[in-house]
């Protein structure tokens, strides 16, 4: 069976959803500063996301990611040059290099692709949960530290929610693929060729916001308690 990527790990942050709004020169400067501050958080979130895919796949018997040097938290192993530039230029979305897997190594390929697909979003939710602990328990923090923790929570939950959209090549589609059977599975697999174009259309029209925000708010309530 051919090797195919788990996801493109798209990130549709919609910086305005994270409190960064651009209205005039001063606000534009503040927006640029905010992006520069949060960019390391975004890159780390993307890195952990892809690392989790590779770790779970390796644990299930697929050495593909390990053999390609992807079982590392070094961002350089996971970053896609164009995806990173898109993130910086558009301030809306970007992607990391997809982690390749070979389902032929899995004892149960359906279960395998579901677990590998869920690994990325769950890793981001875990990061958000850890960052949210001081916020949830009301620990006094300096404004700058509080801002960084809030951004860590919001960005990781945004990445998790976005990738749970059940549209190829996002992680949610791997979960659906593992659940479907027979002709339904075959029909859904045909979306693979058109999924990236549909996804780009949804991003450019802003429709992804209507899809991910209910998931994002649910995850935020679970992580922050409010």
CB 83 within 8 A of CB 66: no
SS3 call for 10: coil
Does the CA dihedral 91-101-164-59 come out positive or negative?
negative
d(CA 129, CA 34): 22
Count CB neighbours of 152 within 10 A.
21
Would you state the structure tokens that stand for residue 58, as one six-digit string? 């390796």
d(CA 135, CA 129): 10
d(CA 164, CA 124): 12
d(CA 193, CA 56): 25
Choose, from 16, 50, 150, 192, the residue flagged as catalytic: 50
Q: What are the phi and psi torsion angles at 101 (to 5°)?
A: -135, 160
d(CA 153, CA 135): 10
- 50 catalytic? Reply is yes
Q: Which residue has the tokens 């690392």?
A: 51
Active site residues: 50
């Amino acid at each position: 069976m051919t090797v195919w990527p788990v996801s493109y790990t798209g990130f549709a942050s919609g910086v305005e959803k994270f409190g960064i709004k651009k209205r005039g020169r001063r606000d534009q400067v503040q927006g640029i500063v905010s992006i520069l501050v949060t960019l390391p958080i975004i890159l780390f979130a993307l890195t952990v996301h892809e690392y989790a895919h590779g770790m779970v796949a390796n644990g299930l018997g697929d050495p593909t990611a390990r053999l390609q040097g992807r079982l590392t938290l070094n961002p350089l192993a996971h970053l896609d040059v164009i995806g990173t530039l898109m993130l910086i230029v558009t301030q809306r979305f970007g992607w990391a290099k997809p982690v390749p897997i070979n389902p032929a190594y899995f004892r149960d390929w359906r279960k395998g692709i579901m677990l590998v697909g869920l690994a990325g979003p769950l890793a981001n939710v875990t990061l958000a949960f850890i960052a949210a602990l001081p916020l949830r328990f009301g620990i006094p923090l300096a404004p700058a530290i509080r801002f960084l923790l809030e951004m860590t929570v919001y960005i990781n939950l945004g990445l998790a929610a976005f990738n749970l959209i059940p549209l190829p090549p996002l992680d949610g589609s791997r979960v659906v693929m593992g659940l479907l059977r027979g002709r339904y599975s075959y029909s859904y697999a045909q979306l693979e060729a058109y999924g990236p174009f549909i996804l780009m259309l949804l991003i450019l029209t802003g429709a992804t916001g209507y899809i991910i925000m209910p998931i994002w708010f649910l995850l935020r309530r679970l992580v922050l308690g409010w």
